[in-house]
Structure 1
Amino acid sequence: MQWTSVAAVALLAHSAAAQNMLRFACSQLVVDRVDPLVDPGVVYTPHLHQIVGGNSFNITMDPATHDLPGLSTCTSCTFKEDTSNYWTAVMFFKAKNGTYIRVPQTGNGGPQGQLVNKGGLDVYYIPSGKVTAFKPGFRMLAGSAANEDPKKVQSGSICHRCWTSTNDNNFVGGAPCTGSDTVEIPSDPKCKMIRQTIIFPTCWDGKNLDSPDHKSHVSYSGQGANGGGTCPSAFPVKIPQIMYEVMWDVSNFADKSLWPTDGTSPYIYSMDVGGAAAHGDYIFGWKGDSLQQAMDKNCNLNKDCPAAGLHAQDPSVYGACNVKQQAPEKVDGWLAALPLGTPAMKA
């Protein structure tokens, strides 16, 4: 490992020790064409999502009546107390013959230690000073599934990183969304994994649990995974900074002879759009005041935190929490088309 990489690891490890944060794995709950935030009540929504979290997830989830902690009997995330739902679009590999296959996911290592999941993603809650936990019914969206212009993306909040090794513990680069990280999905046969990062806003208006665009009730206060800076007057409440990391394992697709011959990227999200359309959805569902306690008591990483009453489950437990598709269709194996419009058919 080069000295610069060692220095980056040491710096991040020191930073993690200086400021505690929750950092934990969530296994795949389901891969499904539903979206209770943007398209409530709809099956076969415009594009496919990978969903993690509490098993009360369904197509409606009316915030006035859907009590995630009360209705969930398990969670696919590490902490037993966290029945929130988190989801992102799905990355596909497009072969030169026009067929598609879903890119597998793996856990993420690095200086804070390896995280174990079955598919899914890793979640961070990063405080910056005193923060106020989300309230029941709170939800938000980062990014835009319809955006195709990388220049319209806040690159310090949504990005991709090329990993030239399949060893997720061999940390690559500096802080998230810095250095050579790109808005677009890297298209380089040297990439064996691609890390996707989605960082959410850190300031809330203190009034609205949601908004029509699922964004207007919150605001960014700076860029990067640092917990955010001083909040603007219209959004005075500092909230924990949520960050998603997805490790897409593209090692089986490194042979460029498999790639499209028209020069287009072989990697695309389930909207049939590239990295500029990357986005993440969040619906709060921590039990009681457990998240507030976790922030106040400086709970760290993915470990039990008795001071806040947090219990870290074994990967075999949270990995076994699954639900059936509500929009049944084939999403694994080679597909003749992306799951868009009518249900996809097997190639």
Structure 2
Amino acid sequence: MHQWASLAAAAALLANGAVAQFNMLRFACSQLVVDRVDPLVNPGMRYTPHLHQIVGGNSFNLTMTPVEYDLAKRSTCTSCSFKQDKSNYWTAVMFFKHKNGSYHRVPQVGNGGPQGQLINNGGLDVYYIPSGRVTAFAPGFRMLAGEAANTDDSKVPRGNICHRCWTSTNENQFVGGAPCTGSDTVGIPQDPSCKMIRQTIIFPACWDGQNLDTPDHKSHVAYGKGSGATGGGSCPSTHPVKLPQVMYEIMWDVSAFADRSMWPESGPAFIYSMNLGGSAAHGDYLFGWEGDTLQRAMDNGCNLNADCPSAGLTAQKPEEYNACTIQQQAPEPVDGWLASMPMGEMAVRA
């Protein structure tokens, strides 16, 4: 909590022209595509078991073999604000279930807070939080946080994956403390007073130093002793290499579903695209920064969503990264009211 408060205060000081003590990257990534594909867990498959929202480089494809697939070279644009970041980031999609049995995808918006407003066309916000000297990810690196089949909130460390209820759509004023603290829950808040639901996914920040990936996409990385958005803390001897801590922040705008008369008589109103709750929340990460720009950004204290000449980082304007989109590779309707969630057969409108 203290370090997060310090980070926030440092960002505010920097904005006012003072010298910041703690720096981190925090930037917007707009929607590249919403699609039922997953090159990490289900490579080559169209119409994977559940729907994802994907951001980042436009070379995103059904199959992205680590040895052969250089995202930084294959992508011609990125939906993330830093031009040099061709990585791909994705999560499951949140749906609202109407009492009549139809489903509607919950839209995402950018976040405010003390570090300033981020402008997103859907998508999510990405953080790279250093803690001391860190080693940037190597080309071909990929990892997974969370478990898409988990149904037990108690099996999910709240310091890694959590949700927060925001009772206003005006989120320029920071609500609550550090991510995944206080009243934050593993489960998705099911309360009509929530106008937005903030989802946080924090990735492991310790690496074994050898494997770019493992069959479960998890064993080559580990969480450190720190909890929450603190940079990860000290690493275990099995995974001694300290990485930048990657964090996703998704602002789900649930304000259109505040009418309690729309809600189902029993069961949750808000669920993820696996037809499961917050315990199944997960995030996928494929590294794709150009050259050594991420390492230089960490070494040079690049901060927030701004140009950083010392690392060769260029922050694009919203109209530039918003324009980077691709077509669905598993075509089906994902917006408006759907007769069922996109699972199994192609989705159809209600």
- Indicate the TM-score class for this superposition, using the shorter chain for normalisation: over 0.9
Q: Distance in 2 between matches of 1:163 and 1:12?
A: 21
- Post-superposition offset of 1:87: 0.1
Q: Distance in 1 between matches of 2:62 and 2:271?
A: 25
Check if 1:159 corresponds to 2:162: yes
Q: How many equivalent residue pairs?
A: 340
Q: Is the aligned partner of 1:80 residue 2:75?
A: no
Q: CA deviation at 1:161?
A: 0.2
| Residue among 255, 261, 264 paired with 1:251 | 255
Q: Where does structure 1 lack aligned partners over 5 or more consecutive residues? A: 1-6
Once the two structures are TM-superposed, the CA of residue 18 in structure 1 deviates from its matched residue by 2.6
CA distance in 2, matches of 1:11, 1:181: 20
The answer to whether the 8 A contact 2:4-2:229 is kept is no
Quote how far apart the aligned CAs of 1:168 are. 1.8
Equivalent positions of 1:30-109 (< 5 A) are 30-109=33-112
Aligned residue in 2 for 1:13: 8
Looking at structure 2, the residues matched to 282 and 116 of structure 1 have their Cα atoms a distance apart, in angstroms, of 21
Deviations along 1:255-309, one digit per CA (max 9) or x if unpaired, are 11110012x1100000000100000000000000000000000000000000000
1:118-267 map, 5 Å: 118-221=121-224, 222-262=226-266, 264-267=267-270
Question: Residues 143 and 279 of structure 1 are in contact (CA less than 8 Å); yes or no, is this contact kept in structure 2?
Answer: yes
**Could you tell me whether the CA contact under 8 Å between 1:12 and 1:175 is conserved in 2?**
no
Residue 219 of structure 2: SS of its match in structure 1? Answer: coil
Aligned partner (choices 286, 290, 297) of residue 287 of structure 1: 290
Q: What does residue 329 of structure 1 align with?
A: 332
CA offset digits 1:309-333 (Å, max 9, x no partner): 0000000000000000000001000
Change (3 A) 1:321 1:165: same
Runs of 5+ consecutive residues of structure 2 not aligned to the other structure: 12-19
What are the Cα deviations for residues 156-184 of structure 1, in whole angstroms up to 9, with x where unaligned?
A: 01000000010121211000000000000
1:124-155 superposed Cα distances (whole Å, 9 cap, x missing partner):
00000000000000000000000010011011
- What is the distance in 2 between the residues matched to 1:345 and 1:107? 28
Q: Is contact 1:134–1:239 with CA below 8 Å preserved after alignment?
A: yes
How much has 1:233 moved relative to structure 2? 0.6
Aligned Cα RMSD in Å?
1.3
Partner of 1:3: none
Calculate percent identity across the aligned residue pairs: 73
Runs of 4+ deviating beyond 3 Å: 7-12
Q: CA deviation at 1:229?
A: 1.2
Task: Output the amino acid matched with 1:13.
Answer: A
Q: Report the equivalent of 2:15.
A: none
Structure 2 equivalent of residue 4 of structure 1:
none
CA contact (8 A) 2:5 2:178 kept: no
Q: 1:9 to 1:62 in 2, by over 3 A?
A: closer
Give 1:230 deviation, angstroms: 1.1
CA contact (8 A) 2:161 2:201 kept: yes
Q: State whether residues 164 and 198 of structure 2, in contact with CA within 8 Å, keep that contact through their aligned partners in structure 1.
A: yes
Matched residue SS, 2:9: helix
- Residues 46-83 of structure 1 show CA distances to partners (whole Å, capped at 9, x for unaligned) of 00000000000000011111110111000000100000
**Amino acid across the alignment from 1:53:** G
TM-score, with structure 2 as normaliser:
0.95
User: TM-score, normalization: structure 1?
Assistant: 0.96
